Chains A and B, each alone.
Chain A
């Protein structure tokens, strides 16, 4: 499902059309249309193996697409690769460094591959991610969290318009996650675009303005977090106790498309043709009372991005 129109897409940082990538007979990406507006934190959500890293590799020119087109910061890939990536900072999967070099030396190595101004930004980048005091320690002594921050410092060497961060929260402790979230929001506040790929739905919900959900190589939904949260079917949560097969009773109520047990409660999914809340809730209560079910609580379920994600991805279908 793609929410349409997804959002105001006046200025676009990344645009892909019909993008596909196959490895032999296996399709890692299948006709991906993605629109990342400028100046936002964009969450790219998907379960492991959904194609997130493959898309990022294509965006960075590290692999050739099997079909489709890519535009990054107004430049076509791969034709204008150097121009497109000149203002892009990226962390792909776990940030990697030369372990025998210090943090500062690793940035010197990376700055050499960037423009002439990059070398002058090394100190400020290290300070910005809180690594100034450890800059002259060898990277092999760094924790994973410090490596993640050094990865962000490396991105900042190019004064990027666009940052592409693949699972940047992996391995971080709660304080590190909070720090990374703050850093991402600061970068966005400066007018930069951040594409954040993650399977940590809660973090994307807290950090991002816009998101796309990818599953089995396809974008199944994209839009603002608000649109994604409200774009799905209404759900009512009921906590009750009774001898009957409550879920089956509720599934038979007109307007209900699905009823299933979920963490000690029954989640009742309503169809588009379901009546307004007070009428459907009354109908559900009546059905339960008629069958002697004791009701503890009934309320509209607040939809989280995780629930929306699960309803859209194959993982839930497999379970269902």
Chain B
């Protein structure tokens, strides 16, 4: 099912979209660097009023922003990976080789992850280093904090990428799916957290589950067990990927 040559071909297709990759880097690494730069300038100008640019608090804040940016990036890259063969018309030629359509779909998924996750990992590595280097007198993040927040960012990127790949393959259209998923990740799910009537169902909201995995402060006071959070993330991903795989397998082209 996981064919390294197919995955390598998917990565090639994504890597050659320079505009998309530059945007992805700006949204993640660029945003992280910008946050440290602004904080550094502020601290240098008025050390009494502004805390040091680094340290545990800066690390946590930057990781929080990167978690949201990871979702944005995952949606853009995943949406592109999920539809680029279909929209270009190449999928028909690939399917006509006799290769399993599920193998082609799996390669899209892993190829998109192979692009998204290294950029996020690099962003978090830079964030950790800058948090330590620029900590000055502030407490520094410990290894546990670095690991858990990095896990949260990577899970956010992996989940949004998976959902975008699956749903864009289902819809066959990149633009609509990217729009809907960005609205869901950036607005809808955050609103849902505050809808108390949903009760324990809010534990299944991706942002809540990801915060738990990142060991960050629970949003809206919704507490969830780590196991439940992991199951929720997997369920969202499997559902979206399942729909995409089903459509890829049955689509008449």
Proximity string of chain B (209-237) to chain A, C-beta cutoff 8 Å, 1 when within and 0 when not: 00000000000000000000000000000
State whether the Cβ of B94 lies closer than 8 Å to any Cβ in chain A.
yes
Residues of chain A having any CB pair with chain B under 8 Å: 57, 60-64, 81-86, 88, 90-92, 94-101, 105-106, 108-114, 116, 119, 154, 158
State whether the Cβ of B132 lies closer than 8 Å to any Cβ in chain A.
no
**Which B residues lie within 8 Å of A91 (CB)?**
93
**Which B residues lie within 8 Å of A88 (CB)?**
96, 98
**Which A residues lie within 8 Å of B90 (CB)?**
96-98, 106, 109
Question: Which residue from A63, A113, A114 sits with its C-beta under 8 Å from B104?
Answer: A113
Q: Across the interface, do A60 and B12 meet the contact criterion of CB distance under 8 Å?
A: no
Q: Across the interface, do A60 and B99 meet the contact criterion of CB distance under 8 Å?
A: no
Q: Name the residue in B88, B92, B97, B104 with the highest tally of chain A Cβ atoms < 10 Å from its Cβ.
A: B97
Q: Across the interface, do B100 and A82 meet the contact criterion of CB distance under 8 Å?
A: yes
Q: Which chain B residues numbered 29 to 88 have a C-beta less than 8 Å away from chain A?
A: 84, 88
Q: Across the interface, do B5 and A101 meet the contact criterion of CB distance under 8 Å?
A: no
With both beta carbons as reference points, the residue of chain A lying nearest to B9 in the complex is identified as A112
Q: Chain B interface: which size bin?
A: 20 to 34
Q: Across the interface, do B92 and A92 meet the contact criterion of CB distance under 8 Å?
A: yes
Q: Across the interface, do A62 and B92 meet the contact criterion of CB distance under 8 Å?
A: yes
Contact A109-B9, Cβ < 8 Å, known A96-B89, A98-B84, A101-B16: yes
Interface SS, B side: helix
- A66 smallest CB distance to B (angstroms): 12
Q: Across the interface, do B97 and A109 meet the contact criterion of CB distance under 8 Å?
A: no
Question: Which residue from B3, B8, B17, B97 sits with its C-beta under 8 Å from A110?
Answer: B97
Q: Across the interface, do A90 and B96 meet the contact criterion of CB distance under 8 Å?
A: yes
Question: Which residue from A61, A114, A158 sits with its C-beta under 8 Å from B95?
Answer: A61
**Which B residues lie within 8 Å of A81 (CB)?**
98
**Which B residues lie within 8 Å of A105 (CB)?**
12, 16
Q: Across the interface, do A112 and B5 meet the contact criterion of CB distance under 8 Å?
A: yes
Proximity string of chain B (1-41) to chain A, C-beta cutoff 8 Å, 1 when within and 0 when not: 00101101100110011000000000000000000000000
Contact A98-B88, Cβ < 8 Å, known A105-B16, A110-B93, A154-B93: yes
- A144 smallest CB distance to B (angstroms): 14
- A29 smallest CB distance to B (angstroms): 14
With both beta carbons as reference points, the residue of chain A lying nearest to B7 in the complex is identified as A112
Contact A85-B97, Cβ < 8 Å, known A64-B252, A92-B92, A112-B5: yes
Question: Which residue from A82, A100, A113, A119 sits with its C-beta under 8 Å from B94?
Answer: A113
Cα(A252)–Cα(B99), bound, Å: 62
Cα(A60)–Cα(B94), bound, Å: 11
**Which A residues lie within 8 Å of B84 (CB)?**
98
